[in-house]
Structure 1
Amino acid sequence: MARNDIYAHFHPDEKPFVDRAWEWVERAAELHELRRTDFLDPRQAHILFTLANRHPDVALRLDGGYAGAERQRAIIAPDYRPLEAEEAGIAVLAVGSDDRRIGELDHGDYLGAMLGLGIKREKIGDLHVRDDGCHVLIAEDIGDFLRTHLRQAHRLEVSTAVLPLSELQEVKVKLEESTISVASMRLDGVASDVFRLSRAKIVDPIRAGRCRINWKTVEDPSALVGEGDVISFKGFGRFKVIEAEGVSKSGRIRLKIGKYV
């Protein structure tokens, strides 16, 4: 398949990842290689899945360490090789503290502490934040490093341990639900109401490539959103369009949205 044919289906910013993913697929099919990737976000997983489906001689399995994981590692291999028994190489990093302020830390605090040690985001899966600490899905090969060097999170002393996946304490994602009234399903209009910003202040970040719909970069403020879409804005947060509840007499659309907290 010609590379230009592949690129036509993806955003230009995604070209470097498409190149890498297609190379993984080709090497699995032609050189009979098995590859285990780092953690992929849902958009990257979709791209890889799409490319693998275009090659009849490739098998693919995604694994994030638990059912419903957002970030997942992929195992790519020639189609004759069974993947069910292949290890995904995922462990649990348990972060805790004797300091009662541990309950004040959030997702960004824990993630920032790990990235501050030079760990790449791709080595870290989902984070499960609790009142008494956090369980982080990580690539096994960074477990010893984090256990040795991660001693603070947001200036609070922490302790760490590496656990098997069977000891993961999963925390369900929480959404802060509310209902808004919008004139249309345009991205800029919906986002400005969700974040309570003027449309002018929302348009510039969109055009600058700071917005993603379902983890795909969108630069058109007039792009339409729909039920089930997850919209993220760098610097503002992210939300999900849960349901369109109907149209008012004045013609405005009532939307139930959930902000990630």
Structure 2
Amino acid sequence: MNEDKLILAMAEDKLTQCQENYMITNTGFLDMRQQTLCKKMLRSRSDVRGFFYGGYSDSERRIGVFIPEYIHMETEEELHEYFLNNIEDNPLTLIRAEHSGYKELTHRDYLGSLIGMGIKREAIGDILVHQKGADILVLRTITEFLLVNYSKAGRTNLTLREEKIERIISAEVYSEERNVTVASLRLDNVVAAAFKLSRSAAVQAIKSGVVFLDGMQTEKPEKIVGQGDKIVLRGKGKTVLREIGGNTRKDRVYITIMIMK
């Protein structure tokens, strides 16, 4: 609870700076639960515009960005386009780390080595691991420090360079398409089918706050899921409800889900 209060106080402070100084301000990187807290806060503030930005469309860790009145934008897509055209205003940098070793490095290797350098978690966004290395999104304020000092993940040497954000290599791929039936389109039913859980385990996961529907933490098992919705079960993975079909003879619903890795 104290951490939640600190996150909200930090976000409100950045929001106030935006209003008083007529400038774009931003928080550090927020996880999905923290984003949910800030989104709820923003809903109660009709006097400001706030968006969440992680450098690419499917990012999980995002910064809160507060926009002054003189900049005209209404959607996160417009914010993304603005930063592409106004690089100097973009608070994020894409660092591409490449290695020549034979050992395949993991997300944990990169994150652990960064934290080991004393970098705070809120300065680090998504780490997208690919065959040659990883694309790492960070706050612009630590870019120069990383380029000079970040040279190893584990015992593997790294070569770093700053890259244009639009050239990010997304490692997220659909690993499986699955056709299943569910009793209804309730969130607990879809979570159980997607992640091969019992319905009671799905309900418990939702109520414990580790399930996110389209980026929002939800603790309501009865919430209805729609076509195209993205579900994240923390620690288990992601799925997208790709298609809703008709009903079976027993009145169950055919759905197609895409499992992501």
TM-score calculated relative to the size of structure 2: 0.74
1:64 Cα offset (Å): 4.0
C-alpha contact (below 8 Å) 2:19/2:68 kept by paired residues = yes
1:225 Cα offset (Å): 1.9
CA change 1:15–1:221 in 2 (3 A) is farther
Give the Cα separation in 1 of the matches to 2:218 and 2:71. Answer: 37
Which of residues 25, 32, 37 is equivalent to 1:35?
Answer: 25
Q: Which residue of 1 aligns with 2:95?
A: 93
CA change 1:108–1:243 in 2 (3 A) is farther
Q: Which residue of 1 aligns with 2:135?
A: 135
1:108 Cα offset (Å): 4.7
C-alpha contact (below 8 Å) 2:24/2:65 kept by paired residues = yes
Q: Which residue of 2 aligns with 1:54?
A: 46
Q: Does 1:171 align with 2:170?
A: yes
CA change 1:198–1:36 in 2 (3 A) is closer
The 10-residue stretch of structure 1 (91-100 or 75-84) with the greater mean CA deviation from structure 2: 75-84
CA change 1:146–1:52 in 2 (3 A) is farther
Q: Does 1:260 align with 2:252?
A: no
Give the Cα separation in 1 of the matches to 2:242 and 2:118. Answer: 36
C-alpha contact (below 8 Å) 2:94/2:162 kept by paired residues = yes
1:39 Cα offset (Å): 3.3
C-alpha contact (below 8 Å) 1:69/1:126 kept by paired residues = no
1:182 Cα offset (Å): 0.9
What does the per-residue CA deviation read over 1:4-49, in whole Å, with 9 as the maximum and x for residues that have no partner? xxxxxxxxx9665455434433332245454233235678398289
Give the Cα separation in 2 of the matches to 1:193 and 1:260. Answer: 14
The letter of the residue matching 2:102 is R
Instruction: Report the aligned-residue RMSD.
Output: 3.5
The letter of the residue matching 2:225 is V
Give the Cα separation in 2 of the matches to 1:234 and 1:188. Answer: 15
The letter of the residue matching 2:158 is S
1:178 Cα offset (Å): 1.5
C-alpha contact (below 8 Å) 1:36/1:73 kept by paired residues = yes
CA change 1:221–1:18 in 2 (3 A) is same
Q: Which residue of 2 aligns with 1:235?
A: 235
1:63 Cα offset (Å): 5.2
CA change 1:97–1:138 in 2 (3 A) is same
Where 2:191 maps in the other structure, the secondary structure is helix
C-alpha contact (below 8 Å) 2:27/2:65 kept by paired residues = yes
Q: Which residue of 1 aligns with 2:68?
A: 78
C-alpha contact (below 8 Å) 2:245/2:253 kept by paired residues = yes
Q: Does 1:215 align with 2:215?
A: yes
CA change 1:254–1:116 in 2 (3 A) is farther
Q: Which residue of 2 aligns with 1:151?
A: 152
Where 1:101 maps in the other structure, the secondary structure is coil
Give the Cα separation in 2 of the matches to 1:222 and 1:59. Answer: 30
Q: Which residue of 1 aligns with 2:76?
A: none
TM-score calculated relative to the size of structure 1: 0.74
CA change 1:187–1:73 in 2 (3 A) is closer
Q: Which residue of 1 aligns with 2:249?
A: 249
1:159 Cα offset (Å): 0.5
Give the Cα separation in 2 of the matches to 1:156 and 1:247. Answer: 55
CA change 1:191–1:48 in 2 (3 A) is closer
Give the Cα separation in 2 of the matches to 1:14 and 1:239. Answer: 27
1:244 Cα offset (Å): 0.9
